[in-house]
């Protein structure tokens, strides 16, 4: 491992020891960089027969993430179960209060734990890393309350470590941009609806396809759409032809006003209007 930081091999050894001690594991699997590395290592250490990828399918999950997760689970040779999760039937989630993420993760992990145990898995693990402790992360609290393990965190992995090891192992997810559920595009206290979540997913899919964007968010202030992309992409989206195409596509989805946020993409920008009450994810 000459192409990684000097302290990473020791962390990898520790991580493999943690995973080996699990015996078997259900992996809460989103298809992102963290959970993909965790799933790959569980498969290596425990063997495919003792690992199960559990992927939530709900109104809050972008369609592209489900596709990516299925492709990666197949590539890794790990059995996957898609778990339908009716998020909007839970009033603590659909009300979209600042504690929404806690209730969502609590309900989701409870369901995934049930399935993992029914499938004979000794425990459930998720892909939190050390960087996730530096912010308010209600999903972390829910996991801790339910005894869901975070091997990457326990082994002291940072996000940079996860990307470095993923790259070293040849995982195509090593440089994936950060993911977040669709609810993070809608301001707090605006109730979540199937229509709003589908509108956001369709808007992001259209822009991603049309402009080959790797990272973007369409923040839904309906009937206004506020588009966030990295600063390097702003100039090309401001070109006349691009602007006209963006407006056309988003107005077809029902938006009346379409704006491009000149501050660029930034995680948790919806939190800016809440005076930092709680983190809103990505």
pTM of the predicted structure, to 2 decimals:
0.90
pLDDT of amino acid 263:
95
pLDDT of amino acid 81:
98
What would the two tokens of residue 132 be?
């996730």
Whether the per-residue pLDDT at 192 is higher than 80: the answer is yes
Whether the per-residue pLDDT at 276 is higher than 50: the answer is no
- Greater confidence (268 vs 186) lies with 186
Cα separation, 255 vs 258, in Å, equals: 7
Whether the per-residue pLDDT at 51 is higher than 70: the answer is yes
Work out the pLDDT band at 249, boundaries 50, 70, 90: very high
Whether the per-residue pLDDT at 11 is higher than 90: the answer is yes
- Greater confidence (272 vs 167) lies with 167
pLDDT of amino acid 140:
87
Whether the per-residue pLDDT at 279 is higher than 70: the answer is no
Distances (CA, A) of 149 to 130, 156, 197: 13, 13, 30
The arithmetic mean of pLDDT across residues 157-164, rounded, is 97
What's the mean pLDDT when you consider all of the chain? Answer: 93
For 31, how many CA atoms within 13 A lie in the half-sphere containing its CB? 24
Cα separation, 184 vs 137, in Å, equals: 13
CB 259 within 8 A of CB 227: yes
Q: In what order do the strands lie in the sheet with 80-84?
A: 80-84, 51-57, 25-28, 124-125
Give me the residue label for tokens 């993909």: 36
Strands 124-125 and 80-84: unpaired
Work out the pLDDT band at 280, boundaries 50, 70, 90: very low
Poorest-confidence range of 37-41, 124-128, 213-217, 268-272? 268-272
pLDDT of amino acid 168:
95
* 59-106 per-position pLDDT tens digit: 999 999 999 999 999 999 999 999 999 999 999 999 999 999 999 999
pLDDT of amino acid 270:
60
What would the two tokens of residue 6 be?
């000097």
The percentage of the chain sitting over the pLDDT mark of 90, rounded to a whole number, equals: 86
pLDDT of amino acid 139:
78
Work out the pLDDT band at 273, boundaries 50, 70, 90: low
Whether the per-residue pLDDT at 155 is higher than 70: the answer is yes
What would the two tokens of residue 162 be?
């996860």
pLDDT of amino acid 178:
86
Work out the pLDDT band at 171, boundaries 50, 70, 90: very high
* 200-231 per-position pLDDT tens digit: 999 999 999 999 999 999 999 999 999 999 99
């Amino acid at each position: 491992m000459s192409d990684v930081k000097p302290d990473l091999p020791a962390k990898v050894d520790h991580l493999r020891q943690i995973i080996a001690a699990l015996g078997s594991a259900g992996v809460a699997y989103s298809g992102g960089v963290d959970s993909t590395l965790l799933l790959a290592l569980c498969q290596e250490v425990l063997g495919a027969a003792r690992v199960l990828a559990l992927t939530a399918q709900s109104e809050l999950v972008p369609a592209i993430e489900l596709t990516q997760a299925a492709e990666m689970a197949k590539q890794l040779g790990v059995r996957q179960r898609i778990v339908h999760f009716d998020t909007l039937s839970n009033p603590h989630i659909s009300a979209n209060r600042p504690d929404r993420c806690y209730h969502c993760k609590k309900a989701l992990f409870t369901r995934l734990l049930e399935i993992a145990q029914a499938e004979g898995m000794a425990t459930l693990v998720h892909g939190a890393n050390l960087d996730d402790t530096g912010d308010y992360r209600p999903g972390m609290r829910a996991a801790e309350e339910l005894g869901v393990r975070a091997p990457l965190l326990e082994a002291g992995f940072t996000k940079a470590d996860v990307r470095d090891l993923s790259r070293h192992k040849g995982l195509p997810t090593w440089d994936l941009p950060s993911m977040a559920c669709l609810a993070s595009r809608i301001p707090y206290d605006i109730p979540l609806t199937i229509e709003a979540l589908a509108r956001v997913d369709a808007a992001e899919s259209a822009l991603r396809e049309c402009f080959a964007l790797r990272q973007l968010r369409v923040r839904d202030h309906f009937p206004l759409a506020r588009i966030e992309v990295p600063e390097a992409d702003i100039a090309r989206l401001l070109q006349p032809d691009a602007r006209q195409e963006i407006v056309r596509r988003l107005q077809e989805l029902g938006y009346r006003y379409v704006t491009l946020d000149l501050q660029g993409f930034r995680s948790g920008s919806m939190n800016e209007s809440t005076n930092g009450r709680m983190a809103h994810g990505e």
